[in-house]
């Protein structure tokens, strides 16, 4: 039964549904898609990104029925709370959605509104594709070698939020348990201490790695790399590695091959149609992002590793200002840019909407509209190559011309019309 929406309108259009047997979305040509503009620059970049996505949909014979919903500051104005039921239920019911950046206010009751949405909707994967667009200034010599998709676990590890504050009775109980009951008597220094618990489960690990391997198979990627710190944290991150290999062997024995077998039986040359599953220690992987960029396709990581690695990868292709992302669950998608709300730039029509637009590209891919998604990619790249860009890129590009965010998006729409 549909939720009774109190303060938002449900537009004409059809629902995206989920076929549990086929494990795939069933998408009409006129889907209802909830959109949260977000806080700060979200109010600048989301509406113009919406126009770009509309153009790509229309150019391929489809139509998006946008459903405006609210979170953060706009929700406080409309509902008196940060995350109203209308919003959560819209994202749940209509399955595919997109949002701008949200700022979690002090004393809001949430560690993060973004994390709250991921947990409420069980969006257990944060997917961040990282690829170079021609013309974007980069700090590295060969940014075009970066073409990587990061699958970061979204609900466990440090994001589970299990910790105790120094000086509380609770933290002393935990200290006593760890030292006296469990026998780690030399682990914790005397004096104030904060303690956190880092849960990594077989269930959480395997469903993340499953998505990563499925993506690699469907998109003709050569490898999936499990990134962990299992040499030190043997029973959490080491278990993540072991459960990842176990999942590959159990569920994808015909489609995958591990790295040991690759070298022992095939002299390092993967057989046709096989995805190589390998693992790397997290600190080494940060180095290899720079030194052996082209050796990696898909990374699967616990939460904190994924946070570090995806931001570092984003830096190589020009920074988080153009980095797209999406949160994925079973039959559910919430696309969002990686960057924050940058409130000092809000309302000035100057913030670069590329990350929001390219997050919309992921949304289109998840809808199965690859032709529309390709139009978005090519139109954005064409615009950046023209050097008619927003202020953040213009100041780094020789001969660049500064455009307002709305002007930049309008020209991307024109590019879509020309390319279609």
Is 114 known to sit in a ligand binding site?
yes
Q: Which residues of 328-354 are buried (b: 16+ CB within 10 A; e: fewer)?
A: bbebbbbbbbbbbbbeebbeebbbbbb
Catalytic residue among 147, 283, 371, 374: 283
Tokens of 297: 């396709």
Is 62 known to sit in a ligand binding site?
no
Catalytic residue among 131, 132, 159, 408: 159
Q: Residue 159 catalytic?
A: yes
As a whole number of angstroms, the distance between CA 335 and CA 101 comes to 11
Catalytic residue among 307, 350, 392, 408: 307
Is 2 known to sit in a ligand binding site?
no
To 5 degrees, how large is the angle CA 235–CA 239–CA 243? 160
Q: How many CB atoms lie within 10 A of CB 291?
A: 8
Q: Are 67 and 73 a contacting pair, CB within 8 Å?
A: no
Is 307 known to sit in a ligand binding site?
yes
Q: Residue 283 catalytic?
A: yes
As a whole number of angstroms, the distance between CA 263 and CA 260 comes to 5
As a whole number of angstroms, the distance between CA 285 and CA 280 comes to 6
Is 388 known to sit in a ligand binding site?
no
Is 352 known to sit in a ligand binding site?
yes
Burial of 386 by CB count in 10 Å (0-12 exposed, 13-18 middle, 19+ buried)? middle
To 5 degrees, how large is the angle CA 341–CA 64–CA 390? 40
Catalytic residue among 119, 198, 229, 274: 229
As a whole number of angstroms, the distance between CA 232 and CA 252 comes to 28
Active centre residues (catalytic)? 159, 229, 283, 307
Positions at the binding site for Mg(2+): 307
Positions at the binding site for NADP(+): 103, 352, 391, 395
Positions at the binding site for D-threo-isocitrate: 112, 114, 118, 128, 152
């Amino acid at each position: 039964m549909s939720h009774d929406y109190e303060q938002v309108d449900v537009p004409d259009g059809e629902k995206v549904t989920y076929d549990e047997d086929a494990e795939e979305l069933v998408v009409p040509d006129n889907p209802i898609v909830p959109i949260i503009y977000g806080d700060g620059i979200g109010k600048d970049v989301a509406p113009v990104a919406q126009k770009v996505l509309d153009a790509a949909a229309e150019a391929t014979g489809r139509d998006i029925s946008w459903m405006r919903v609210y979170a953060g500051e706009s929700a406080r104005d409309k509902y008196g709370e940060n995350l109203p039921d209308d919003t959560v239920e819209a994202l749940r019911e209509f399955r595919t959605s997109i949002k701008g950046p949200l700022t979690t206010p002090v004393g809001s009751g949430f560690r993060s509104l973004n994390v709250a949405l991921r947990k409420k909707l069980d969006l257990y994967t944060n997917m961040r594709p990282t690829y170079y667009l021609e013309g974007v200034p980069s700090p590295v010599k060969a940014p075009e070698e970066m073409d990587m998709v990061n699958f970061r676990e979204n609900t466990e590890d440090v994001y589970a939020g299990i910790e105790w504050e120094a000086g509380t009775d609770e933290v002393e109980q935990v200290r006593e348990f760890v030292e006296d009951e469990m026998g780690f008597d030399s682990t914790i220094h005397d004096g104030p201490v904060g303690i956190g618990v880092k849960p990594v489960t077989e269930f959480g690990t395997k469903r993340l790695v499953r998505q990563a391997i499925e993506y690699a198979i469907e998109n003709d990627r050569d490898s999936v790399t499990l990134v962990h710190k299992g040499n030190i944290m043997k029973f959490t991150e080491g278990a993540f590695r072991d459960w990842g290999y176990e999942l590959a062997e159990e569920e994808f024995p015909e489609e995958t091959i591990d790295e040991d077998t690759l070298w022992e039986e095939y002299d390092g040359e993967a057989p046709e149609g096989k995805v190589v599953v390998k693992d790397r220690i997290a600190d080494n992987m940060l180095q290899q992002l720079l030194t052996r960029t082209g050796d990696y396709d898909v990374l699967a990581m616990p939460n904190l590793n994924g946070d570090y690695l995806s931001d570092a990868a984003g830096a190589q292709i020009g920074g988080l200002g153009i980095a797209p992302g999406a949160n994925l669950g079973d039959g559910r998608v919430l696309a969002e840019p990686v960057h924050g709300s940058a409130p000092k730039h809000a309302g000035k029509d100057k913030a670069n909407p590329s990350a929001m637009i390219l997050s919309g590209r992921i949304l289109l891919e998840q809808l199965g509209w690859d032709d529309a998604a390709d139009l978005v990619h090519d139109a954005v790249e064409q615009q950046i190559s023209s050097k008619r860009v927003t202020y953040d890129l213009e100041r780094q590009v020789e001969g660049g011309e500064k455009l307002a965010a709305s002007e930049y998006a309008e020209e991307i729409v024109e590019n879509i019309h020309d390319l279609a």
